[in-house]
Structure 1
Amino acid sequence: MIGVKKNIIVVAAGPFQFAMINPVITRKSGAFETEEGCLSLDGVRSCTRYEEIEVDHCNGIVI
């Protein structure tokens, strides 16, 4: 949305917070169907999510 091709996520895991830049899901298990909404789009949509994922990422930064 800002003209920069980066995927960035901030994760809070217990007492730790860290940023992942360009994360890639390398393993997933426990698939389930759910519905999600988005502030940018009207309505809700069906999607598949997972109970557990494993992620590789570049430039992990602990906050």
Structure 2
Amino acid sequence: MIRDICKDVLFLARKSEPATPEDLPVAADLLETLEAHADGCVGMAANMIGVAKRIIAFDDEGTYRVLFNPEIVKKSGPYETEEGCLSLTGTRKTKRWQTIKVQYQDEQFRVRFKTWTGWSAQIIQHEIDHCEGILI
């Protein structure tokens, strides 16, 4: 189901709770909502659709991917950039990392590790910030 984009700054500033297998329908809604906004959005966190759970969805070089409970465990290559967000007006400057290693759970809630670089890494960092209640 395509959900409305949450613009409530107080809600978005709350730290999200860990996702569980019961949250699989939220992930499906998150993906569907992301696909519906593909013309202007490359990633979303569950709080952007009004659910305070640690779930992100993003366009990983042409393939949509969902990560449950993502955590950055290693990072390198800091740089400054500017980002926008569907939930917020305008753009903001921020620091990002060129390469990140992420620990996450897949759809079967198995722990996985993957290293991303470049644009995909930037998207993931933005969405993990959402999970942490950090507004960028």
Q: TM-score, normalised by structure 2?
A: 0.37
* Matched position secondary structure for 2:79: strand
Length, aligned pairs only: 59
Task: Give per-residue Cα distances to partners, 1:9-47, cap 9 Å, x unaligned.
Answer: 235368x65421010000000010000111222211001
Q: Identity percentage over the alignment? A: 42
RMSD of equivalent CA atoms: 2.4
Q: Give 1:55's aligned residue.
A: 102
* Matched position secondary structure for 2:82: strand
Q: Give 1:8's aligned residue.
A: 55
Q: In the aligned structure 2, how far is the partner of 1:23 from the partner of 1:13?
A: 18
Distance change (3 Å), C-alpha of 1:38 and 1:57: same
Displacement after TM superposition at 1:50 (Å): 1.0
Q: In the aligned structure 1, how far is the partner of 2:52 from the partner of 2:61?
A: 26
5+ long unaligned stretches in structure 1: none
| Equivalent residue letter for 1:35 | E
Q: Whose helix proportion is higher, 1 or 2?
A: 2
Displacement after TM superposition at 1:48 (Å): 0.8
Q: Work out which structure has the larger RCO, using CA pairs closer than 8 Å and 6 or more positions apart in sequence.
A: 1
Distance change (3 Å), C-alpha of 1:38 and 1:10: closer
Q: In the aligned structure 2, how far is the partner of 1:17 from the partner of 1:43?
A: 25
8 Å CA contact retained: 1:34, 1:47: yes
Q: In the aligned structure 1, how far is the partner of 2:52 from the partner of 2:90?
A: 26
